[in-house]
Amino acid sequence: MLSLDVLAVALTVEGTLIAAALGGLVVLRLYLVWRARQVEAGVARLEPLLHAWLVEDADLGAVVAFLRAQPPHVAFRSVARLATAYVTFERQQILAPLLRGEPWVQRILRHGRSMFWWRRFDAARLLSIVGGPDDVTMVAALLSDRSPAVRLVAIDAAARLGGRLVDLELDSLPGRQDAVQQYQFAALNRHPAIVAEALVPRLRPEVPAVMLNAWIDAAGASANPVALWRVRDLALHEAPEVRLHVARALRRHAEPETVPVLLKLLTDDDWRVRAQAARALGALRVISAARPLALAVRDRAWWVRYRAALALAQIGGEARELLLEVSRGSDPLARDMSALVAGLSSAAVVEMSEV
Amino acid sequence: MTRAHRRPARGGRRTTASRTVETAPAAAPRDLAAPEPATPADLVVATADPSLLRMLTFALDQMRLPHQSFTSGTVVLQRLLDLPRGGRPTVVVLDVDLPGVDGHAILERLGSERPDEFLIVVLSSHADESVQVRSLLAGALDHMAKPFNVRVLMAKLHRWVTIARHYEVAA
């Protein structure tokens, strides 16, 4: 009898706890739905004010006053959603100083040192829109945050603020994964002049190859001519990996002096360098490179033949004639490759050349 | 009565644009000179982003540029292909991210079936060189990466609509 009583009590306690947990989940869900609806309503009301500013150059005071009247989470999420999607960087620069001193902004930014990553994430995201010179220390801390999500968002904030933060970002580049590097390049490209100034002194042959490669890639992504001149000077670097990155970056450097450098790299000992040089000559549409590229279609490495044939197709005109000529030649490997590429549509050639 | 209202309708694509004309405010924006009122067939906007569509509609209304809007790639492609051949080119603002048929596919289809009949500006979230080159080689007049400056886009549309109108006169 006693054991049945104990079992009944245990079941009652267990049932109560399960019911409480389920009730808690329901309440939490309703709370989140309510907050999401609040944000949606905020976005819908902010939108026309923002449109009036973007289209007619209307007074920004209405936007600032509206946001001040909203709960902080509504103001933040509305701005984050609309500003990042529809407001250009130049316009964000006008918006930022007006919002930076607002109480709701201060409140979100106080979370920059929170123990919860999602609060630090919100602070970093807001800094990427409203950050100013006073926020450099906080952004620097968020750049080395223990959460990768926070670090990624902080890159945008750092690029926005420039200066010492750009140096910090460039120094962190070699240790980042490729996908994060690409994100960093896109963020850094908002400050091409500052980034070029910071990159040039780093592009020296004595720098370790791992770091040099990341910075060469950054110079290529920026397409900044000053930085790419320094990259071009590294074309004879002893490390093939560096020459490979140089050849890849130079496809963004459309200057006559680049052509002889790329033609030299087209005969490099390393097949990866030759392939990237062919790709760059195609991207730059160097018509004078048509004959060397036609020779490269006969290369012993499949990848070089592929890149050279694509480059000829990209250049078009006389280069395409040469490609067709190779497709009728006696070299079976060159013949197959050129016939394959000659059959591609122009859209496919552009798409495949970039991959 | 304006020239736009006097012109006979071309095909069955006037209703929405006419409504846009009726609701457009009389005053031009402060520093963007509005072109003379155009026919409702001048401009087509295709985007599945409701917020972007509202912004473009607002800006086009301010410019007094009659337009039609679409949110489906399949529908806009069919409507553009159904337009009668010849006459003035239609200016198309085409978002790449459309449900059904995407913007690039529409561009390529129009380029092959109706070349030189549309002046197309592509809007895309991607600013990559390859994406831009792909758009332009497929026949786009311009490629604008988001977020773009809506005032710059409106100035371009103003110019292209004027060019399209002169093109018809010359033809």
The verdict on B163 touching A (C-beta cutoff 8 Å) is: no
The verdict on A285 touching B (C-beta cutoff 8 Å) is: no
As a whole number, mean pLDDT of residues A41-52 equals: 94
Higher pLDDT, B167 or B60: B60
Are B147 and A57 inside 8 Å of each other by CB?
no
Percent above pLDDT 70 for chain A? 99
pLDDT of residue B14: 37
Are B55 and A353 inside 8 Å of each other by CB?
no
Angle between helices A332-342 and A318-327 (to 10 degrees): 130
Q: How does strand B118-124 pair with strand B142-145? A: parallel
The verdict on A353 touching B (C-beta cutoff 8 Å) is: yes
ipTM of this complex: 0.70
B52 closest CB neighbour out of A48, A86, A353: A86
pTM score, whole prediction? 0.69
Q: Is the pLDDT reported for residue A298 higher than 90? A: yes
**CATH homologous superfamily for the domain B13-21+34-170:** Response regulator (3.40.50.2300)
The verdict on A58 touching B (C-beta cutoff 8 Å) is: no
pLDDT of residue A260: 95
Least confident interval from A280-284, A329-333, B102-106, B133-137: B133-137
Contacts of B104 in chain A (CB under 8 A): 347
Are B147 and A84 inside 8 Å of each other by CB?
yes
CA distance B29 to chain A (A): 6
CA distance A64 to chain B (A): 19
Contacts of A55 in chain B (CB under 8 A): 29, 55, 58-59, 62, 150-151, 154
Percent above pLDDT 90 for chain A? 68
The verdict on B22 touching A (C-beta cutoff 8 Å) is: no
| pLDDT (tens digit per residue) in A79-99 | 999 988 899 888 998 999 999
Q: How does strand B118-124 pair with strand B43-46? A: unpaired
Mean pLDDT, chain B, whole residue set = 76
Distance CA B112, CA A255 (A): 34
Least confident interval from A123-137, A148-162, A203-217: A148-162
Helix (H) or strand (E) holding A11: helix A2-56
Are A57 and B134 inside 8 Å of each other by CB?
no
Is B40 in contact with B17 (CB distance < 8 Å)? yes
First to last CA, chain B: 25
Is the alpha carbon torsion for B90, B95, B96, B101 positive or negative? negative
| Residue A193 buriedness (CB in 10 A; 0-12 / 13-18 / 19+) | exposed
Higher pLDDT, B21 or B164: B164
Q: Tokens representing A278? A: 């062919």
As a whole number, mean pLDDT of residues A164-180 equals: 83
Are B151 and A91 inside 8 Å of each other by CB?
no
Are A350 and B130 inside 8 Å of each other by CB?
yes
B58 closest CB neighbour out of A55, A85, A186: A55
B29 closest CB neighbour out of A56, A91, A347: A56
DSSP state string for chain B: --HHHHSPP-TT--HHHHHHHHHS-SSPPSSSPPPPP--GGGEEEE-S-HHHHHHHHHHHHHTT--EEEES-HHHHHHHHHHSPSSSSPEEEEEES--SSS-HHHHHHHHHHHSTTSEEEEEEES---HHHHHHHHHTT-SEEEESS--HHHHHHHHHHHHHHHHHHHHH-
As a whole number, mean pLDDT of residues A278-300 equals: 94
CB pairs under 8 A between A and B: 64
As a whole number, mean pLDDT of residues A271-283 equals: 95
pLDDT of residue B3: 36
DSSP state string for A119-188: HHHHHHHHHHHH--GGGHHHHHHHHT-SSHHHHHHHHHHHHHH-THHHHHHHHHGGGS-HHHHHHHHHHH
Distance CA A297, CA A309 (A): 6
Q: Is the pLDDT reported for residue A48 higher than 90? A: yes
| pLDDT (tens digit per residue) in B110-158 | 988 888 889 999 999 887 777 787 888 888 999 998 889 999 999 999 9
pLDDT of residue B20: 33
Query: In A18-100, at which residue ranges do the beta strands (DSSP E only) sit?
Result: none
The verdict on B117 touching A (C-beta cutoff 8 Å) is: no
Q: Tokens representing A165? A: 């933060």
Residue A185: φ, ψ to 5°: -60, -45
Overall residue count recorded for chain A in this entry: 355
Is A139 in contact with A169 (CB distance < 8 Å)? no
Mutate: best of A43, A50, A51, partner B, most B CBs <10 A: A51
CA distance B125 to chain A (A): 9
pLDDT of residue B7: 37
Are A354 and B151 inside 8 Å of each other by CB?
no
CA distance A52 to chain B (A): 8
Are B130 and A84 inside 8 Å of each other by CB?
no
As a whole number, mean pLDDT of residues A298-305 equals: 95
Contacts of A84 in chain B (CB under 8 A): 147
The verdict on A90 touching B (C-beta cutoff 8 Å) is: yes
Residue B123: φ, ψ to 5°: -110, 130
- Please report which confidence band the pLDDT of residue A22 belongs to, taking 50, 70 and 90 as the band edges: very high
Distance CA A160, CA A246 (A): 27
Give the nearest chain B residue to A81 (CA atoms): B51
